[in-house]
């Protein structure tokens, strides 16, 4: 049910009329926002740490080649292997080559980059069985849907829907009872996935950070699924993108202080796990093979250009949680892996502005995303830049460009501007007349469909200003 980035408007409208989705989104709304606000309020040093975090990422990005090479060297020293992939296809091919030809049981921990490269589909095509182990990811895998949120992939699902899904899908394990309470739902998933954990051949996780100092990959989770995914199977594969690298453990510590607070309002997620190489000679458990697949997929071009700041993103999800548009329509309407404000910036950069031209416009420029972003990413500015590029490349609607051009002509001629606006104010004021508002207007149906346009009352601002003086 992956939507399409070119069908944003239709999908958004459908989402607004989807009563079940609206129920699910209403439940989520507020929770994330309140928890984050309280967590930030409890940390007086938040602003300082935020500045520190930005400096760490900027330093790393400015020397990205150096830290990636250091990371690679450390992974090799600890007995692991590093694979480089320019594109999504290369990344999938690298993972498939590691897994090998025989069909395998593959477990996955949550990884957004694996969604970005379409890894599950590639593995299934190659004949492997893939099981998502994060509860939210597991739910949407059963539903054959993509994630709708970068940290809460099943946020669009109601408990009733999950109950139905589990009943239909778990019957084959002899679990026929209908589970309706959250506790029972979680327990049933635990029971089903436990057997998968104990029998899998390969475990794939993402990485929140790659640490150059030690060659460690780091995951941040609450469930512990990412840990079982990597310590039980024989092979652990990590998929990560190039901008995840940071210099040191101390740098990670700074970023961790922001990540959980911004994401879920926790001070620390339950499990932060550093994985370095395969199991050691005297270890009693852990994977025998450790591979890191490092994906570029367009990021090296963002480095140093007007979207450079986006590479600081730590995928906390705060910008989604604070976005009124995301809150109203959910993640699927955006049509690709990354939704909300960060997605509206990333998607056009990754799949082409011409394929995602509605996304930068799905924004009210209210600025909340930029305010809450722990990495101080100027999301609204970047969305504006994308709109500007659309205009330049004539990807916006001809009518909109025409209107802007006309307005531009007018705005550069103050006399004319005054005359025309005074005239329009008078005309609209007199037509709007008694009602004081318009229910419909030619050329402005997009506005009047959902709300009335107030009719001007009295003179233009400029005239009133002059009179006051």
Partner 1 sequence: MSAARDEIFTRIRRSLRRDAPLAAPPAHRSQAPESNVRPRLEKDPLECFIDKVHAAAGTVDRISAISDVVQATSDYLHRHGLEPRLVVASHPLISELAWPAEWKIHAGPARGEDHIGVGAAFAGVAETGTLVMLSGADNPTTLNFLPDDHIVVVSALQIVAHLEDAWRLMRDSVTAMPRTVNLITGPSRTADVEQTIQLGAHGPRRLHVIVIED
Q: Does residue 302 belong to the site contacting ligand SF4 (CB under 6 A)?
A: no
Question: Considering the complex, what minimum distance in angstroms separates the CB of residue 356 from ligand SF4?
Answer: 17
From the list 391, 413, 416, 411, the residue with the least C-alpha distance to 402 is 391
DSSP state string for 357-398: TTGGGS-----HHHHH-TT---HHHHHHHHHHHHHHTT-S-H
Q: Does residue 228 belong to the site contacting ligand SF4 (CB under 6 A)?
A: no
Q: Which stretch binds partner 1 (CB under 8 A): 13-21, 121-129, 273-281, 419-427?
A: 273-281
DSSP state string for 450-464: TSPEEPP-SS-HHHH
Question: Considering the complex, what minimum distance in angstroms separates the CB of residue 88 from partner 1?
Answer: 12
Is residue 42 classed as helix, strand or coil in its secondary structure? coil
- Contact with partner 1 (CB under 8 A): which of 16, 142, 175, 271? 271
243-262: contacts with partner 1 (CB under 8 A): 247-251, 253-254, 256-257
Cα angle for residues 120, 122, 126 (degrees, 5° grid): 115
Question: Considering the complex, what minimum distance in angstroms separates the CB of residue 104 from partner 1?
Answer: 20
What are the CB-based long-range contacts (under 8 Å, 24+) for 42-47?
A: 42/267, 43/257, 43/261, 43/267, 46/258, 46/261
Identify which of residues 229 and 460 has a Cβ nearer to partner 1 in the complex: 229
Q: Which stretch binds ligand SF4 (CB under 6 A): 52-60, 132-140, 224-232, 372-380?
A: 372-380
- Contact with ligand SF4 (CB under 6 A): which of 107, 237, 373, 382? 373
Q: Which residues sit opposite 129 in a β-bridge?
A: 105
439 CB neighbour count, 10 Å cutoff:
10
Question: Considering the complex, what minimum distance in angstroms separates the CB of residue 167 from partner 1?
Answer: 15
- For the record, the structure tokens of 168 come out as 């239909």
Q: Which residue bears the tokens 């060659």?
A: 215
Q: Does residue 375 belong to the site contacting ligand SF4 (CB under 6 A)?
A: yes
Q: Does residue 346 belong to the site contacting ligand SF4 (CB under 6 A)?
A: no
Binder of residue 90, out of ligand SF4, partner 1, none (CB less than 5 to 8 A by kind): partner 1
Question: Considering the complex, what minimum distance in angstroms separates the CB of residue 114 from ligand SF4?
Answer: 17
- The kind and range of the H/E element at 292 are strand 289-295
- Contact with ligand SF4 (CB under 6 A): which of 117, 314, 329, 350? 314
37-96: contacts with partner 1 (CB under 8 A): 43-45, 48-49, 52, 55-56, 59, 62-66, 68-70, 78, 83-86, 90
Q: Which residues sit opposite 8 in a β-bridge?
A: none
Is residue 143 classed as helix, strand or coil in its secondary structure? coil
- For the record, the structure tokens of 133 come out as 């182990």
Q: Does residue 319 belong to the site contacting ligand SF4 (CB under 6 A)?
A: yes
Q: Contact letters (x/-) for partner 1, 199-238, by CB under 8 A?
A: --------------xxxx-----xxxx-xx--xx------
Rounded distance between C-alpha atoms, residue 127 and residue 440, angstroms: 56
DSSP 337: S
Binder of residue 318, out of partner 1, ligand SF4, none (CB less than 5 to 8 A by kind): ligand SF4
- Contact with partner 1 (CB under 8 A): which of 118, 286, 429, 456? 286
Report how far apart, in Å, the C-alpha atoms of 53 and of each of 45, 207, 296 are. Answer: 12, 18, 22
Binder of residue 194, out of ligand SF4, partner 1, none (CB less than 5 to 8 A by kind): partner 1
What number of H helices and E strands is found in the chain?
23, 12
Rounded distance between C-alpha atoms, residue 140 and residue 248, angstroms: 35
Q: Does residue 342 belong to the site contacting ligand SF4 (CB under 6 A)?
A: yes
Query: Where do contacts with ligand SF4 occur on this chain (CB under 6 A)?
Result: 313-319, 342, 373-375, 377, 379
């Amino acid at each position: 049910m992956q939507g399409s980035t070119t069908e944003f408007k239709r999908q958004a409208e459908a989402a607004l009329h989807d009563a079940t989705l609206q129920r699910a989104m209403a439940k989520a709304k507020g929770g994330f926002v309140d928890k984050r606000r309280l967590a930030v309020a409890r940390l007086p040093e938040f602003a300082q740490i935020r500045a520190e975090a930005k400096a760490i990422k900027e330093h790393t990005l400015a020397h990205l080649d150096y830290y990636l090479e250091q990371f690679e060297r450390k992974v090799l020293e600890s007995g692991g292997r590093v694979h480089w992939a320019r594109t999504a296809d290369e990344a999938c091919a690298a993972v498939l080559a590691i897994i090998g030809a025989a069909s395998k049981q593959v477990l996955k921990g949550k990884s957004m980059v694996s969604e970005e490269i379409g890894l599950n589909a590639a593995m299934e095509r190659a004949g492997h069985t893939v099981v998502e182990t994060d509860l939210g990811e597991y739910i949407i895998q059963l539903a054959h849907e993509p994630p709708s949120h970068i940290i809460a992939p099943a946020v669009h699902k109601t408990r009733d829907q999950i109950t139905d899904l589990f009943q239909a899908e778990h019957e084959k394990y002899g679990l026929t009872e209908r589970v309706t309470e959250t506790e029972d739902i979680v327990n049933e998933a635990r029971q089903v996935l436990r057997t998968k954990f104990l029998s899998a051949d390969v475990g794939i996780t993402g990485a929140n950070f790659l640490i150059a100092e030690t060659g460690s990959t780091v995951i941040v989770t609450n469930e512990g699924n990412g840990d079982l995914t990597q310590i039980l199977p024989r092979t652990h594969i990590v998929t990560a993108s190039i901008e995840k690298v940071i210099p040191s453990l101390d740098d990670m510590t700074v970023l961790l202080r922001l990540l959980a607070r911004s994401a879920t309002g926790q001070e620390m997620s339950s499990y932060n796990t550093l994985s370095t190489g395969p199991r050691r000679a005297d270890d009693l458990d852990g994977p025998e093979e450790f591979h890191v697949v490092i994906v570029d997929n367009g990021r090296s071009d963002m480095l140093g250009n007007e979207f450079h700041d986006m590479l600081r993103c730590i995928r906390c999800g705060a910008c989604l949680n604070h976005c009124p548009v995301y809150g109203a329509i959910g993640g699927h309407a955006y049509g690709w892996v990354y939704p909300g404000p960060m997605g509206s910036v990333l998607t056009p950069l990754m799949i082409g502005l011409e394929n995602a031209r509605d996304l930068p416009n799905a924004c009210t420029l209210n600025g909340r995303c930029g305010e809450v972003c722990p990495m101080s990413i100027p999301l609204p500015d970047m969305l504006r830049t994308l709109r500007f590029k659309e205009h330049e490349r004539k990807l916006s609607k001809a009518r909109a460009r025409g209107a802007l051009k006309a307005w531009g002509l007018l705005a550069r001629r103050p006399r004319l501007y005054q005359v025309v606006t005074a005239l329009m104010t008078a005309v609209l004021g007199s037509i709007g007349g008694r009602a004081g508002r318009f229910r419909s207007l030619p050329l402005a149906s997009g506005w009047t469909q959902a709300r009335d346009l107030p009719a001007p009352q009295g003179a233009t601002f400029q005239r009133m200003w002059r009179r006051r003086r």
